C-alpha cells in the first residue's frame, strides 16, 4: 500500500557488501512492490479465477446454457440441481453465468486491446512526427471527445444494429481517442529527450528511433491507461447488451441476462441480481488491479 507515495520498495536494501550496492532493475522494483500489495494480489487472483471459469465453462457448467424448460422457470437459488436457480425460460443460472463470462469478458477486453493497438499506433505516430500530422490526428480525436462515451457507443451500435461484432466496433471507436491522447503526450515528451536527440544525430532512421528508443518508454503509460479502461469497457459492453445492442439471444451474456430477467424482477429478485453482481465483481477487480499496477509501475495518473 503506497498511498503516501513511498513504499518499502523505495528504500534501499542493506547491502551485504557495501562496495557493490545492488541496484534493482525497473521490473524487479515493480515485482517487489506488487509482492506486498495484498489488495491488488487478491483482486488479481479473483480475475484469474473468473477468467479460468469462463475458459472452462464447457467443462464446469452443469447444464446446457441454452436449454429451456417450461416447468423449471424462475426457480429460487438452490432449487434441486440448480445451484443458483433458473431464469425466465427455465435455463440453469449457474451455467449461463459461466458461459456469460465468456461473452462479457470478450466484449469487455477485446475493444480495449484493439483500441490500444490502433490508438497507440496513431498516438505514437502523431507524437513522433509532430507538426501537421499531429494536428490532423489529434483534432479528429478531439471531435470524438465531444461525445460522452456512452452516447458514442450507443449511437454507433444503435445505427449499425445489434450484435456482438457491431458492439465491439462501437466500443473500439470509443476507446481509440483517449488512448491516442495518452500515447501522443507520452511520445511528445520522450521524443524531445536528449538520448533520442543523440540517436537521431548519429543517423538512426525514424523506425529504429521509434522501436528502440520511444516505444519502450511510452508502453508503460499506455498500458496502464488501457488497463484502467477495461473496467469501463466491461460496464459499457454489458450496458449495450442490456439495451439489446450487444450479444444477441440466446447466447448467454451478463448484460443481456440482466435485461431479460427484468421481467421476473418481482418473482425472484435475488436470481435477477446475480448477473449484475458478476459484472460488479469483474469491473471492481479490474479497477483495483489497474490502480495497483499504476502504483507499482509508478506511472502518474
What's the chain's Rg over C-alpha atoms?
23
Q: Which of 235, 271, 289, 293 binds other proteins (CB under 8 A)?
A: 235
Q: Which helix (H) or strand (E) holds 53?
A: helix 38-55
Question: Judged by CB under 8 A, does residue 150 bind other proteins?
Answer: yes
Nearer to other proteins, 215 or 280 (CB): 280
* 148 sits near other proteins (criterion: CB under 8 A): yes
| Burial class of residue 14 in the structure, from the number of CB atoms within 10 Å of its CB (0-12 exposed, 13-18 middle, 19+ buried) | exposed
Sole binder of other proteins in the list 90, 244, 249, 250 (CB under 8 A): 244
Task: State the nearest-atom distance from the C-beta of 137 to other proteins, in Å.
Answer: 13
Read off the C-alpha cell for 215: 516505444
Q: Would you count residue 6 as binding other proteins (CB under 8 A)? A: no
Cα–Cα nearest to 153, from 140, 143, 139, 168 = 168
For residues 8 and 277, which CB has a smaller minimum distance to other proteins in the complex? Answer: 277
Site stretch for other proteins (CB under 8 A), options 16-24, 47-55, 149-157, 174-182: 149-157
Residue 193 CB, shortest distance to other proteins, in Å, is: 27
Nearer to other proteins, 47 or 218 (CB): 47
Q: Which of 7, 86, 233, 238 binds other proteins (CB under 8 A)?
A: 238
Report helix, strand or coil for 162.
Answer: coil
Is the separation of the CB atoms in 69 and 92 below 8 Å?
Answer: no
Residue 147 DSSP label: S
Q: Residue 180 interacts with other proteins (CB under 8 A)?
A: no
User: Nearest Cα to 89, choosing from 66, 109, 107, 108?
Assistant: 66
Q: Which residue's CB is nearer to other proteins, number 210 or number 271?
A: 271
Size of the site for other proteins (CB under 8 A): 47
Binding to other proteins in span 267-286, by CB under 8 A: 269, 272-273, 275-277, 279-280, 283-284
d(CA 222, CA 90): 44
**Minimal distance in Å, beta carbon 216 to other proteins?**
29
Those residues whose C-beta lies under 8 Å from the C-beta of residue 44, and which sit 6 or more positions away, are: 285, 289, 292
Amino acid at each position: 500500500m503506497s498511498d503516501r507515495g513511498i513504499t518499502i520498495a523505495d528504500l534501499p536494501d542493506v547491502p551485504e557488501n557495501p562496495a557493490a550496492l545492488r541496484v534493482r532493475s525497473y521490473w524487479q522494483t515493480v515485482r517487489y512492490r506488487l509482492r506486498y500489495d495484498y489488495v491488488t494480489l487478491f483482486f488479481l487472483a479473483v480475475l484469474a479465477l473468473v477468467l479460468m471459469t469462463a475458459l472452462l465453462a464447457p467443462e464446469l457448467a452443469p447444464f446446457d446454457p441454452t436449454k429451456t424448460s417450461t416447468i423449471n422457470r424462475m426457480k429460487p437459488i438452490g432449487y434441486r440441481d440448480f445451484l443458483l436457480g433458473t431464469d425466465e425460460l427455465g435455463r440453469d443460472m449457474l451455467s449461463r453465468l459461466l458461459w456469460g463470462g465468456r461473452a462479457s469478458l470478450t466484449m469487455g477486453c477485446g475493444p480495449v486491446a484493439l483500441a490500444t493497438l490502433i490508438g497507440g499506433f496513431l498516438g505514437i505516430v502523431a507524437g513522433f512526427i509532430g507538426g501537421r500530422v499531429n494536428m490532423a490526428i489529434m483534432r479528429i480525436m478531439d471531435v470524438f471527445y465531444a461525445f460522452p462515451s456512452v452516447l458514442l457507443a450507443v449511437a454507433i451500435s444503435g445505427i449499425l444494429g445489434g450484435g456482438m461484432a457491431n458492439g465491439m466496433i462501437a466500443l473500439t471507436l470509443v476507446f481509440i481517442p483517449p488512448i491516442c491522447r495518452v500515447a501522443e503526450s507520452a511520445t511528445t515528451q520522450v521524443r524531445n529527450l536528449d538520448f533520442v536527440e543523440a540517436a537521431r544525430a548519429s543517423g538512426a532512421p525514424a523506425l529504429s528511433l521509434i522501436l528502440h528508443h520511444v516505444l519502450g518508454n511510452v508502453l508503460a503509460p499506455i498500458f496502464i491507461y488501457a488497463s484502467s479502461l477495461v473496467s469501463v469497457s466491461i460496464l459499457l459492453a454489458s450496458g449495450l447488451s442490456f439495451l439489446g445492442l450487444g450479444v444477441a439471444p440466446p447466447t448467454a451474456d451478463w448484460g443481456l441476462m440482466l435485461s431479460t430477467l427484468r421481467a421476473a424482477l418481482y418473482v425472484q429478485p435475488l436470481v435477477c441480481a446475480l448477473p449484475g453482481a458478476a459484472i460488479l465483481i469483474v469491473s471492481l477487480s479490474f479497477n483495483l488491479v489497474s490502480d495497483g499496477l499504476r502504483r507499482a509501475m509508478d506511472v502518474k495518473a
